[in-house]
Amino acid sequence: MSRLLKFNIFRYNPEDTLSSPHMEEFVLEETDAMTLFIALNRIREEQDPSLQFDFCCRAGICGSCGMVINGRPGLACHTKTKDLPGEITLLPLPVFKLVGDLSVDTGSWFREMYTKTESWIHTDKEFDADALEERMDNKVAVGIYELERCVECGCCISACGTARLREDFLGAAALNRVARFLIDPRDQRTDSDYYEIIGNDMGIFGCMGLLACEDVCPKHLPLQNQLGFLRRKMGITSLKRIFRK
Ligand code: SF4
Ligand code: SF4
Ligand code: FES
């Protein structure tokens, strides 16, 4: 006999002046291979069409289904109910602007962070559409690809103590993005240029290093390595800048 799952789901519509934040309970019979994606869609179809949550790919690729699942940020489409207890509490990811219920606006947050970190290749080389593609060392290309796997789900930001305390903290995803450009030989920025962006409490020196970010990252990005790499690089750059004065 399959389990009856009890869902406690955060409800609030900031657009509705009559709405106030509260938890609502839903009961659903568990089915084989049920994910939270399936469960939430069934609740919306069978019990409450007004329930808000985000999904797109259902395959851990689009990063839109991040939510706090029994206290831990994660992707709902990647979470099987069989791995959870019979009572499941779902909350929207903190730090991001709430759209409604479990839906948050991660897009604006990431756009702002990537603008702050100037997340694009900086080069004064003129683009030549007729030129042959430039070869890149295979190891370097693999290293860049590894960091490019971030799906911008926001789980690492929601799990981050510093991001919860200060809203201008760049967070692991943005710092990972900086590391991606730092190792890219096409980007002509110097360590000192990067220091201007992340050599402060808003950047790498605000990170407490407890690594909740890496623990919750559904794509298993090597965030610990990147944070350590940036901390060392920016520490050395800071000393160089002091002794140059
Ligand atoms: S290690 Fe740094 S970025 Fe990661 S969760 Fe902790 S404070 Fe945030
Ligand atoms: S680093 Fe991981 S947890 Fe953070 S936004 Fe990217 S995929 Fe999500
Ligand atoms: S729906 Fe795309 S990552 Fe979950």
Ligand 2 center from residue 213 Cα (angstroms) = 8
Task: Give the residue-averaged pLDDT of 151-170.
Answer: 96
| Planar angle of CA 217, 218, 224, nearest 5 degrees | 30
Within the chain, how many helices (H) and strands (E) appear?
9, 7
Ligand 2 center from residue 223 Cα (angstroms) = 9
Strand partners, 87: 6
**Using the 8-state DSSP alphabet, how is residue 96 labeled?**
S
63: three-class secondary structure by DSSP: coil
Task: State pLDDT tens for residues 196-233.
Answer: 999 999 999 999 998 899 999 999 999 999 999 999 99
- The verdict on the CB of residue 211 being under 6 Å from ligand 1 is yes
Of 35, 41, 65, best ligand 3 pocket probe by most atoms within 8 Å of the beta carbon: 65
Q: How far apart are CA 121 and CA 4, in angstroms?
A: 52
Token digits of residue 131? 């030129």
144 contacts 183 by C-beta, under 8 angstroms = yes
Ligand 3 center from residue 235 Cα (angstroms) = 37
The pLDDT value given to residue 127: 86
Distances (CA, A) of 101 to 9, 80, 132: 8, 21, 50
Q: Domains (ranges, CATH) in the chain?
A: 4-104 (3.10.20.30), 117-244 (1.10.1060.10)
Largest CA distance in the chain: 74
The pLDDT value given to residue 244: 75
**Using the 8-state DSSP alphabet, how is residue 6 labeled?**
E
User: Percent of the chain at pLDDT above 90?
Assistant: 92
Q: Which ligand is nearest to the CA of 36?
A: 3
Q: At what angle do helices 106-116 and 171-182 cross, to 10 degrees?
A: 40
Token digits of residue 4? 């009856």
Q: How far apart are CA 229 and CA 234, in angstroms?
A: 9
Q: How far apart are CA 6 and CA 175, in angstroms?
A: 38
- The verdict on the CB of residue 58 being under 6 Å from ligand 3 is yes
4 contacts 32 by C-beta, under 8 angstroms = no
Three-state SS for 104-142 is: EEHHHHHHHHHHHCCCCCCCCCCCCCCCCCCCCCHHHHH
Ligand 3 center from residue 185 Cα (angstroms) = 32
Ligand 2 center from residue 17 Cα (angstroms) = 33
Least confident range of 1-5, 28-32, 144-148, 226-230: 1-5
- State the closest ligand 3 atom to the C-alpha of 57, by its place in the atom list counted from 1: 2
Task: State pLDDT tens for residues 43-53.
Answer: 999 999 999 99
Q: How far apart are CA 37 and CA 80, in angstroms?
A: 9
Exposure of 211 in the CB half-sphere (CA atoms within 13 A): 11
**Using the 8-state DSSP alphabet, how is residue 98 labeled?**
E
Task: Give the residue-averaged pLDDT of 54-83.
Answer: 97
Residue of 236, 233, 109, 94 lying closest to 174 (CA atoms): 109
